[in-house]
A and B are shown apart, each in its own frame.
Chain A
Amino acid sequence: MFRDLYYTIFDFVRTFGALQLFFLRLLMYTPAVLSRRFGLVIGQVYNAGALSLVIIIICGLFVGAVLGLQGFSNLSRFNAEDSVGAVAALALVKELGPVITALLFAGRAGTALSSEIGLMKATDQLSAMEMMAVNPIRRVVVPRFLGGVVAMPLLAAVFSMVGLLGAHMVCVPLLGVDVGSFWQQMQQSVEVADINEGIIKSFVFGVAASLLAVWEGYNAIPTAEGVGRATTRTVVLTAIVVLIFDFMITAVAI
Chain B
Amino acid sequence: MDTVSDNLIEIHDLDYSFGARKIFNGLNLTIKRGQVTAIMGPSGTGKTTLLRLITRQIVPDHGVILVDGVDIATLNQTELYDLRKRFGMLFQNGALLTDLSVFENVAFPLREHTRLTNRLIRHVVLTKLHAVGLRGAADMMPQQLSGGMARRVALARAMVMDPDILIYDEPFVGLDPISMGVIVRLVRRMNDALGISSIIVSHDVQEISTVADCSYLISKGTVAASGSPDELNNASSELVRQFMHGMADGPVAFHYDAPDYAEQLLGRDAE
Contacts and interface: CB of A to CB of B under 8 A. Distances in A.
Interface of A: 119-120, 123-125, 127-135, 139
B192 interface: no
Interface string B79-112: 0011011010101110111100000000011001
A134 B100 CA distance: 15
A124 B91 CA distance: 8
Contacts of B113: 133
A120 B126 CA distance: 26
Contact of B109 (A119, A127, A132, A135): A132
Given A132-B109, A133-B113, A124 B95 contact: yes
A123 B157 CA distance: 16
B55 A133 contact: no
A131 B98 contact: no
Contacts of A119: 98
A47 B125 CA distance: 28
A133 B108 CA distance: 11
B110 to A, nearest CB: 10
B85 A133 contact: yes
Interface of B: 55, 57, 77, 81-82, 84-85, 87, 89, 91-93, 95-98, 108-109, 112-113, 154, 157, 161
Given A131-B55, A131-B57, A134-B112, A124 B84 contact: no
Given A120-B98, A128-B96, A131-B87, 4 more contacts: A120-B97, A124-B91, A125-B96, A134-B109
8 contacts: A120-B97, A120-B98, A123-B93, A125-B96, A130-B57, A132-B108, A133-B81, A133-B85
Quick one: which of A119, A125, A135 has the most chain B CB within 10 A? A125
A121 to B, nearest CB: 11
A65 B225 CA distance: 77
A125 B97 contact: yes
Interface centre among B87, B95, B109 (most CB of A within 10 A): B95
A128 B97 contact: yes
Contacts of B77: 135
A233 to B, nearest CB: 23
